[in-house]
């Protein structure tokens, strides 16, 4: 009996420590004002594309505007930091593998990735695509590897930032192929792709939504995808496993996170509405057109997936001795 009283008292005390604005949220009436969906990269990248596809259809269901706000920088973690510390009850972040499974192993963050945020709704995943500029004399992964071995350190690879999936995939590629290539980090995919198309850098492992347009327009050449299977948008492009490098299995995934203090019922409401959006034919067509694979998950499954990916990328980073420049 005494133990039950102590637990009840502890729970009440913990509730008192939660931000009043979060405690005041009534799931039946939430949201009561416009919501913010933060994005940790610049407009035009894969995370931005996923966020806008969801936000456009989520707003009518929630009967409030869902404003996409770009906060690029620090391996997508600036947006996560703002969300983790938010107390308004109306802020979420379109989380990405970079921020939630990679950056915590490389950066000293101002929040606890596994305690200050809660995974709410999984959106989907997209493969990274090994692309080269049209001036690069390589039409296959084998030809690119041979070229890199002839010119050690002279081939530059672009990424959307240090610690991004583009960066990690290229580092794993370097290790698996036994080559030396040089990292050129950018603040988002948009700037990286401009220089890749113009020939300032030679290659990238960018995400499908970021590069599919340039590939189909003939401005970039796709050599391989990093997913286990070929992607329907690029059926002629082999996987890295087919190219003889199965270790290069890095895909970007996306999901919505909220502050951990968000009432469970509010989390469930957002989870349910996001999954309604993902089931819409228009949303599915919009996301599948950029190579996304939609995988509905329960919130519990998303939480387990988050932890598994956090552990997997930690092992990759340690094994390949990946560090920030």
> Domain check: are 164 and 88 in the same one?
no
Residue 7 lies in a domain: no
Mark whether 137 and 238 lie in a shared domain. Answer: yes
In a shared domain, residues 110 and 256: yes
Give the chain's domain count.
2
Average pLDDT over residues 70-97: 94
* Six-digit token string for 183: 């990292």
> Looking at 243, 266, 298, which one is the last position of a domain?
243
Residue 144: pLDDT band (50, 70, 90) is very high
Q: Of 308, 286, 290, 306, which Cα lies nearest the Cα of 298? A: 306
The 3-state DSSP class for residue 37 equals: strand
Dump pLDDT digits (tens) for 199-211.
999 999 998 888 9
- Shared domain for 257 and 111, answered yes or no, is yes
Using CA atoms, how far apart are residues 94 and 69, in angstroms rounded to an integer? 10
Phi, psi of 84, rounded to the nearest 5 degrees: -60, -35
Of 213, 243, 273, which residue sits at a domain end? 243
pTM for the model: 0.81
Q: Is 24 among the domain residues?
A: no
Write down the residue that tokens 């989870």 correspond to. Answer: 271
Could you tell me if 274 and 122 are in contact, meaning their C-beta atoms sit under 8 angstroms apart?
A: no
Can you say how many angstroms the Cα of residue 185 is from the centroid of all Cα atoms in its chain? 17
For the chain, percent helix, then strand, then coil, each to nearest 5? Answer: 45, 20, 35
Task: Determine the average pLDDT of the residues in 95-103.
Answer: 94
With cut-offs at 50, 70 and 90, classify the pLDDT of residue 42.
Answer: confident
Domain range for 91: 35-125+252-320
Q: How confident is the model at residue 18 (pLDDT cuts 50, 70, 90)?
A: very low
**For the chain, percent of residues with pLDDT exceeding 70:** 92
Assigned domain for 25 exists: no
> How far apart, in whole angstroms, are the C-alpha atoms of residue 169 and residue 125?
15
pLDDT confidence band for 14 (50 / 70 / 90): very low
Does residue 201 belong to any structural domain of this protein?
yes
* pLDDT exceeds 80 at position 19: no
Cis bond before residue 100 (omega within 30° of 0): no
Are 263 and 300 in the same domain? Answer: yes
For residue 29, tell me if it sits in a domain.
no
Same domain, 62 and 148: no
pLDDT of residue 255: 97
121 & 149 share domain: no
If asked whether residues 134 and 231 sit together in one domain, one would say yes
Tokens of 218: 């003939």
For 154-191, the pLDDT digits (tens) are 999 999 887 888 999 999 999 999 999 999 998 778 88
* Residue 156, domain CATH: 3.40.190.10
Please check whether residues 65 and 134 belong to one and the same domain.
Answer: no
Give the CATH number, domain containing residue 47. 3.40.190.150
Both 238 and 92 in one domain: the answer is no
Mark which of 243, 278, 302 sits at the end of a domain.
Answer: 243
Half-sphere exposure of 149 (CA within 13 A, CB side): 11
**232-247 average pLDDT score:** 95
- Flag whether pLDDT at 70 surpasses 90: yes
pLDDT of the residue at 12:
41
The beta strand positions in 201-275, using DSSP E, are: 203-207, 220-225, 251-259
Does position 222 have pLDDT exceeding 60, yes or no? Answer: yes
Closest CA to 173 of 137, 216, 122, 132: 132
Tell me the Ramachandran region of residue 25: left when phi exceeds 0, alpha when psi lies from -120 to 50, beta otherwise.
beta
> Is there a domain that residue 76 lies in?
yes
pLDDT digits (tens, 9 = 90+) for 243-297: 999 999 998 899 999 999 999 999 999 999 999 999 999 999 998 888 888 888 9
Please report, for residues 56, 161, 179, the alpha-carbon distance to residue 187 in angstroms, rounded to integers and kept in the order given: 25, 6, 25
**Do 115 and 185 fall within a single domain?**
no
Q: What is the pLDDT of residue 25?
A: 56
| In-domain check, residue 20 | no
Query: Residue 17 — pLDDT band, cuts 50, 70, 90?
Result: very low
pLDDT of residue 203: 98
Strand pairing category for 293-294 and 91-96: unpaired
Residue 102 lies in a domain: yes
Within this chain, do residues 314 and 266 fall inside the same structural domain, yes or no?
Answer: yes
């Amino acid at each position: 009996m005494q133990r039950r009283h102590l637990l009840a008292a502890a729970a009440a005390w913990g509730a008192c420590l939660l931000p009043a604005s979060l405690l005041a949220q009534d799931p039946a009436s939430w949201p009561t004002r416009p919501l913010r969906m933060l994005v940790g990269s610049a407009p035009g990248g894969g995370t931005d594309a996923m966020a806008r596809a969801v936000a456009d259809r989520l707003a009518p269901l929630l009967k409030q505007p869902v404003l996409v706000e770009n906060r690029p920088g620090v391996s997508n973690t600036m947006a996560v930091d703002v969300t983790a510390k938010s107390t308004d009850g109306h802020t979420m972040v379109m989380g990405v593998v970079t921020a939630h499974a990679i950056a915590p192993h490389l950066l000293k963050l101002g929040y606890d990735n596994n305690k200050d945020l809660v995974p709410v709704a999984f959106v989907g995943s997209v493969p990274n695509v090994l692309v080269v500029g049209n001036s690069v004399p390589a039409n296959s992964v084998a030809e690119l590897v041979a070229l890199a071995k002839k010119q050690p350190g002279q081939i530059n690879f672009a990424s959307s930032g240090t610690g991004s999936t583009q960066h990690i995939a290229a580092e794993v590629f370097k290790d698996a192929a036994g080559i030396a290539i040089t990292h050129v980090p950018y603040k988002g995919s948009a700037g990286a792709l401009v220089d890749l198309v113009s020939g300032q850098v030679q290659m990238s492992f960018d995400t499908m939504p970021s590069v599919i347009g340039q590939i189909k327009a003939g401005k970039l050449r796709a050599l391989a995808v990093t997913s286990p299977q070929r992607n329907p948008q690029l059926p002629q492009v082999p996987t890295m496993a087919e190219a003889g490098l199965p270790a290069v299995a890095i895909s970007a995934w996306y999901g919505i996170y909220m502050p951990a203090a968000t009432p469970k019922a509010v989390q469930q409401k957002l989870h349910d509405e996001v999954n309604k959006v993902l089931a819409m034919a228009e949303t599915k067509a919009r996301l599948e057109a950029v190579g996304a694979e939609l995988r509905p998950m329960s919130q519990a499954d998303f939480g387990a997936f988050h932890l598994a990916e956090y552990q997997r990328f930690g092992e990759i980073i340690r094994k390949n001795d990946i560090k920030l420049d």
